[in-house]
Amino acid sequence: MPDYSKIFIDGRWVAPDATSSAEVVNPATEEIIAHVPMGSRRDVDQAVAAARNASEGWARTPVKERAAAMARIVAGLQERAEELAALATDDVGTPIGLSRLAHVGLPLNNFAFVAQAIAESAESFEQIGSSRVVREPFGVVGAISPWNYPLHQSTAKVAPALAAGNTVVLKPSEVAPLTIWALTEVIEAAGLPPGVFNLVSGDGPVVGQAIAAHPQVDLVSFTGSTAAGVKVSQAAAPTIKKVSLELGGKSPALVFPDADVNLAGMTAMGMVTMGLSGQACVAHTRALVHRDVYDQFLAAAQPLAGMITYGDPFDPAVLASALISAKQRDRVMGYIETGQREGARLVAGGTRPDGELAAGNFVAPTIFADVRNDMTIAREEIFGPVLAVLPFDDEDEAVRIANDTEYGLGAGVYTTDARRAFRLARRLRAGTVGINGFQVEPHLPFGGFQQSGLGREGGQSAFESYTELKSVLMPLTEELM
């Protein structure tokens, strides 16, 4: 069991400068399961100094050695896979099956991909005339990760950053941090030089702000709410550092009469209820449905709402999690009240379960029909099991409604017309568009348009985003070529 009272700086587990701690609460039981340090600006200064001291040496480490280190981390994560899944289930509340698949499987993919990527391409260059264009690491990367997929989102930053030759200071969410201590132990066992990876826990206003504003941090990568992303950008601006942001979403699913409407209804409802109970930025929380199949869509979605099972997340029969905290639970219930007050028609859910489940942060799967796109529940990110269903009459209206948002993270198109599907995918202002289904593919770029973020995570583009381009002007002589 990791020692959650310490942070990791310069290759050692050390007591933090600050003495305060944050309670880690099991969402399904509301029981306190751990305490983690609330770090200070001095802790950040020490971690950044260690990362800076290690930066040049790690950048010059041969590619084969960095790739081998990534492979050792993969092996370490595999060895502790079941422990990590159990920690995620306690920490985030996700059903154990999803924890194995997403909270462990995706992080493994993140490190395995970059191990292969750097072995194939990190020391290559582009020849343009007599000159060469090369990629070099930024230096020190500040990584700030969220609570909904803490291990996946942390490794989506840490893996490509380390593989590209950067050193890292990681701040996990203090709400669900337990898997990150295990990750740090795995990285420590992999034998990376001191200072290459550092862990400082704490909250956004102190530790997150200090990382984003630090003059010795060259790049800051943040995943979280759009409001918090604005603060990260503001903190980073005075030092002109690169900022990567993966932020909120209000993703639409467009359902046409020629689609498998029953599949579309079940898929849309499943995305906002099963697993994390809608606590995913890319969840399709707006269903835009053609009027000809509107009632059919609702008829398909409604039964699924009643079939979602809650309870002990270690029970294989449980399909959905509690919301992460009482605060988030109450926030979601507030949106449900707002939806009813503004005139949307509640057709499923809208309540909290009673009995044994009343002790957890559970909210029943909720469907609103007859929603207008100017309603609060259609415009703001709820981060809970709430689906807003809006009608449309033709393709142009569907696109207009879908794009009438400040976000642009994901979208879906349900149709059997391949040409329409691709045409709409190009018209929608979203970073990822699924056709007749949706899943996050970790080897593809992931990110959003507009206020859903800056930059991309995943795939080769993520690896490249942690490098700077340099042009080397070379004369045409055989001695230098």
* Number of other CB atoms surrounding residue 16 within 10 Å: 23
> How far apart, in whole angstroms, are the C-alpha atoms of residue 349 and residue 388?
12
Residue 337: which residues within 8 A CB-CB, separation 6 or more? none
DSSP state of 291: G
Q: What amino acid positions are annotated as catalytic residues?
A: 246, 281
Angle at 276 between CA 248 and CA 455, to 5 degrees: 30
> How far apart, in whole angstroms, are the C-alpha atoms of residue 85 and residue 89?
6
Nearest to 163 by CA among 265, 68, 300: 68
Dihedral in degrees, nearest 10, Cα atoms 6, 10, 12, 13: 0
According to DSSP, the residues that pair with 37 across neighbouring strands are 21
Tokens representing 443? 């080897």
b/e map 281-292, b = 16+ CB within 10 Å: bbbbbbbbbbee
**CA 269 to centroid of chain Cα atoms:** 20
b/e map 245-278, b = 16+ CB within 10 Å: bbbbbbbbbbbbeebbbeebbbbbbbbbbbbbbb
Nearest to 464 by CA among 211, 52, 126: 126
Given a contact cutoff of 8 angstroms between Cβ atoms, the answer to whether 151 and 84 are in contact is yes
Angle at 364 between CA 363 and CA 368, to 5 degrees: 110
Tokens representing 250? 């209000």
> How far apart, in whole angstroms, are the C-alpha atoms of residue 169 and residue 188?
14
139 sits in the region (left: phi over 0; alpha: psi -120 to 50; else beta) called left
Which phi and psi angles does 249 have, rounded to 5°? Answer: -155, 160
b/e map 61-91, b = 16+ CB within 10 Å: eebeebbebbbbbbebbeebbeebbbbbbbb
Given a contact cutoff of 8 angstroms between Cβ atoms, the answer to whether 154 and 177 are in contact is no
